[in-house]
């Protein structure tokens, strides 16, 4: 988590804890999700993660956005239009089943296709920067497809608000 | 007696820079005298020779008795030097050190010929004798002789004078001399490995650059773990490391690190992520990938003029460039045809052509220092393999395969490859392994924790 900087670092730490709640909610009763939604103050990064979803997923070796991904990004664009103060970092990630250099480039491609989609939905290009982590930052660490598919992702990180 | 001098290093920080480590090896002055002592004059050329091209079936029995303590107080050094030589030769898989318990003759004076019959009786085909002496000036003199036991003949003999702290390097240099004399190939023992040392859980790995001798000794860190670092590569002079770092967190870039001074800097000012660096064979240029938007292309940057040259121009991923040893060509991987494959082009970007056509994906091509082969990572049927092919794509040969093998690097003589091997699961992590070009002699390379992205240095001496 040391690669964000400025306010982004704090937000990302928050995202991690929220993300755990979301995962727990998926496998549990849903109470946690309700709680998280209750707690999330509108216009905050937590609110973005909980109500919109900060990530989209990709097929193996693919950078195409699925319909589900596009639906998520549509919601992201809406939220980001409403709360237009945030600078945005799109992180591209790959799963561990590729070589290191290729995966760095693949992560960049995923971040770029995500960024381009957000721009096509009205987010100014100069609000968004991208970074690739290749296969260096998996979120799921088991050894089967269920994990690898969670790691093939682009994550929209709110970096900080302009003028604050 | 003439002496080959090794200057003392500049402390622990020092890399193995040629400036202070240049070793001029000189035959024993007494070699000619000794010839007269030989009981049975051998043939003009020694008969003992190891052919390593075909893959050795039977390792050559070699006797490595403890070196003579020429000063009476160097027993530890005498033992340690031969232990390092023993371990080096054993790891090649080409030698079978004879059990010292079987020795008949006890070597007490290396200035006279050994009792060859005593060594023939225990079937030692080669014998190494040596002596360590503390000179009046406080420096360590190390002498050795390699004998062809069945020809009753000295094959080579050298001596080295150096700071006492350099005893380990002397042992590597002697190992190289033995290997070269017996195989006809340059050795690879006086070399180092730079790699990425990994600690912490899989989803929050801390990665540090580390450097160590090829036998895992003298490991030290080059970065402190605060920045994510990847793919270190040696300069041809061994003095610098090119690598990728997430540095300031804004954009990952290629950096250069001076091993001795610790000084580091960004290579070039590019509008996107730069990664996958390697030096040109003359050390004057860095070749690397630049990502802009969804595309990745290959560039070189001249380290003196800072001039950049674009070599590829595709709406694809072109990465992992590696020069041929003569600098005239570059191999790289590209997915311009749909999936990762290996290509070769002229060093100016001309004549780009695909060379890999097998089933699966091919990446991380690395040109052999001999120029005859390109090593690669192949992904097929969910397995990761290390293999080699000729630069025209013919003669593909797989050296190892498994769940995950990646990122080959060549020994300077082009006979051995290191790579990293990962295992599945949350608790798993990568380790460095080596394998001979024959596909035999697979061994794990010892590191303190998980390790990946190894790069083998050129020969230092």
Give the domain ranges of chain B. Answer: 2-183, 192-456
d(CA A25, CA B453): 38
Residues of chain B neighbouring A63 (CB-CB closer than 8 A): 294
d(CA B441, CA B95): 12
Q: Does B425 touch chain A (CB under 8 A)?
A: yes
State the smallest CA–CA distance between residue B206 and chain A in angstroms: 10
The closest alpha carbon to B229, from B178, B194, B189, belongs to B194
**Quick check: pTM over 0.90?**
no
Asked if the Cβ–Cβ distance from B289 to A112 is below 8 Å, we say: no
Asked if the Cβ–Cβ distance from B379 to A97 is below 8 Å, we say: yes
Asked if the Cβ–Cβ distance from A99 to B407 is below 8 Å, we say: yes
Asked if the Cβ–Cβ distance from A141 to B406 is below 8 Å, we say: no
Q: Domain B192-456 sits in which CATH superfamily?
A: TolB, C-terminal domain (2.120.10.30)
What's A61's DSSP letter?
T
d(CA A13, CA B93): 50
- Sign of the dihedral through C-alpha A146, A149, A151, A153: negative
- Sign of the dihedral through C-alpha A95, B200, B211, B300: positive
d(CA B374, CA B361): 15
Which B residues, 51 through 70, put their C-beta within 8 Å of a C-beta on chain A?
Answer: none
Average pLDDT over residues B48-73: 84
pLDDT at B441: 94
Check pLDDT > 80 for residue B38. no
Check pLDDT > 60 for residue B78. yes
d(CA B249, CA B393): 39
Residues B457 and B412 sit within 8 Å (Cβ to Cβ): yes
Which of B205, B248, B293, B295 to mutate against chain A (most A CBs within 10 Å)? B293
Asked if the Cβ–Cβ distance from B407 to A5 is below 8 Å, we say: no
Compute the C-alpha angle B458/B460/B461, nearest 5°: 135
Q: Does B356 touch chain A (CB under 8 A)?
A: no
Q: For residue B171, report the phi and psi dihedrals to the nearest 5 degrees.
A: -60, -40
Long-range contact set of residues B12-15: C-beta below 8 Å, sequence gap at least 24: B12/B220, B13/B260, B13/B261, B13/B262, B14/B259, B14/B260, B15/B192, B15/B211, B15/B238, B15/B239, B15/B259, B15/B260
Check pLDDT > 90 for residue B2. no
Asked if the Cβ–Cβ distance from B296 to A100 is below 8 Å, we say: no
Cross-chain CB nearest to B406 (options A3, A61, A100): A100
Confidence grade of residue B1 (pLDDT, cut at 50, 70, 90): very low
Nearest-Cα residue of chain B relative to residue A95: B203
Average pLDDT over residues B114-143: 97
Least confident of A21-30, A117-126, B146-155: A21-30
Check pLDDT > 90 for residue B21. no
Residues of A engaging B, defined by a Cβ cutoff of 8 Å:
1-5, 61, 63, 96-102, 104-106, 108-109, 112-113, 129, 131-132, 134, 136-143
pLDDT at B427: 87
Question: Which string of b and e fits B10-30 if b means at least 16 CB within 10 Å?
Answer: eeeeebbbeebbebeeeebee
Average pLDDT over residues B434-448: 96
d(CA B218, CA B210): 10
Residues B301 and B321 sit within 8 Å (Cβ to Cβ): no
Long-range contact set of residues B36-42: C-beta below 8 Å, sequence gap at least 24: B37/B112, B37/B113, B38/B113, B38/B152, B38/B153, B38/B154, B39/B113, B39/B116, B39/B152, B40/B116, B40/B152, B41/B152, B41/B153, B42/B148, B42/B151, B42/B152, B42/B153
pLDDT at B114: 97
Check pLDDT > 90 for residue B77. yes
Residue B318: other Cβ atoms inside 10 A: 26
d(CA B147, CA B181): 10
Q: Does B176 touch chain A (CB under 8 A)?
A: no
What's the burial of B334, exposed, middle or buried (CB within 10 Å: 0-12/13-18/19+)? buried
pLDDT at A142: 74
pLDDT at B39: 32
Asked if the Cβ–Cβ distance from B382 to A61 is below 8 Å, we say: no
Q: How far is CA A65 from CA A77, A111, A117, B443, in A?
A: 15, 11, 9, 43
Q: How many CB pairs below 8 A link A and B?
A: 104
For the B2-183 domain, the top CATH level (class) is alpha beta
Residues B332 and B296 sit within 8 Å (Cβ to Cβ): no
Residue B439: other Cβ atoms inside 10 A: 15
Q: Does B230 touch chain A (CB under 8 A)?
A: yes
What's the burial of B305, exposed, middle or buried (CB within 10 Å: 0-12/13-18/19+)? exposed
Confidence grade of residue A149 (pLDDT, cut at 50, 70, 90): confident
d(CA B425, CA B174): 42
State the smallest CA–CA distance between residue A98 and chain B in angstroms: 8
């Amino acid at each position: 988590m040391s690669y964000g900087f400025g306010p982004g670092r704090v937000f990302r730490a928050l995202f991690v804890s929220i993300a755990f709640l979301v995962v727990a909610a998926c496998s549990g009763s849903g109470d946690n999700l309700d709680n998280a939604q209750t707690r999330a103050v509108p216009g905050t990064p937590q609110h973005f993660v909980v109500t919109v979803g900060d990530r989209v997923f990709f097929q193996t070796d693919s950078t195409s956005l699925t319909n589900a991904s596009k639906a998520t990004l549509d919601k992201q664009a809406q939220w980001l239009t409403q709360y237009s103060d945030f600078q945005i970092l799109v992180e591209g990630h790959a799963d561990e089943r590729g070589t290191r250099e290729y995966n760095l480039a693949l992560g960049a491609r995923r971040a770029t296709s995500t960024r381009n989609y957000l721009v096509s939905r009205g987010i100014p290009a100069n609000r968004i920067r991208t970074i690739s982590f290749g296969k260096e930052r998996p979120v799921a660490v088991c050894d089967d497809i269920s994990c690898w598919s969670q790691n093939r992702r682009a994550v929209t990180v709110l970096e900080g608000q302009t003028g604050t | 007696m003439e002496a080959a001098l090794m200057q003392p290093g500049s402390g622990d920080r020092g890399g193995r820079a040629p400036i202070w480590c240049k070793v001029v090896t000189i035959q024993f002055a007494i070699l000619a005298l000794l010839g007269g002592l030989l009981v049975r004059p051998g043939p003009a050329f020694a008969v003992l020779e190891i052919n390593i091209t075909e893959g050795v079936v039977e390792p050559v029995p070699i006797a490595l008795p403890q070196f003579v303590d020429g000063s009476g107080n160097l027993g530890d050094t005498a033992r340690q030097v031969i232990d390092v030589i023993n371990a080096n030769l054993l790891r090649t898989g080409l030698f079978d050190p004879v059990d010292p318990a079987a020795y008949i003759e006890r070597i007490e004076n290396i200035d006279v010929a050994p009792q060859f019959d005593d060594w023939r009786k225990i079937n030692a085909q080669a014998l190494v004798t040596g002596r360590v002496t503390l000179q009046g000036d406080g420096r360590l003199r190390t002498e050795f002789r390699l004998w062809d036991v069945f020809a009753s003949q000295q094959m080579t003999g050298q001596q080295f004078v150096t700071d006492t702290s350099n005893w380990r390097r002397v042992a590597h240099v002697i190992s190289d001399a033995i290997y070269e004399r017996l195989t006809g190939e340059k050795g690879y023992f006086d070399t180092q490995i730079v790699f990425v040392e990994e600690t912490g859980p899989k989803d929050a790995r801390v990665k540090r650059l580390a450097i160590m001798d090829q036998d895992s000794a003298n490991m030290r860190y080059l970065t402190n773990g605060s920045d994510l670092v990847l793919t270190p590569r040696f300069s041809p002079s061994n003095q610098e490391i090119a690598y990728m770092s997430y540095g300031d967190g804004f954009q990952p870039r290629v950096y250069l690190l001076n091993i001795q001074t610790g000084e580091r800097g960004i290579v070039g000012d590019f509008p996107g992520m730069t990664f996958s660096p390697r030096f040109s064979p003359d050390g004057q240029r860095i070749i690397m990938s630049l990502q802009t938007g969804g595309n990745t292309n290959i560039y070189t940057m001249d380290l003196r003029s800072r001039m950049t040259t674009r070599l590829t121009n595709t709406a694809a991923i072109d990465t992992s460039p590696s020069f041929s040893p003569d600098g005239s060509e570059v191999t790289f991987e590209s997915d311009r045809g749909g999936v990762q494959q290996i290509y070769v082009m002229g060093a100016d970007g001309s004549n780009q052509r695909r060379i890999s056509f097998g089933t699966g994906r091919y990446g991380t091509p690395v040109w052999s220092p001999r120029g005859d082969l390109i090593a690669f990572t192949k992904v097929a049927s969910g397995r990761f393999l290390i293999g080699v092919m000729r630069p025209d794509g013919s003669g593909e040969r797989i050296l190892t395969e498994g769940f995950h093998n990646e990122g080959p690097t060549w020994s300077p003589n082009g006979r051995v490859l290191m790579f990293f091997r990962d295992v599945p699961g949350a608790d798993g992590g990568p380790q460095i392994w080596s394998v001979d070009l024959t596909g035999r002699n697979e061994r794990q390379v010892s590191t303190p924790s998980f390790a990946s992205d190894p790069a083998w240095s050129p020969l230092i001496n």
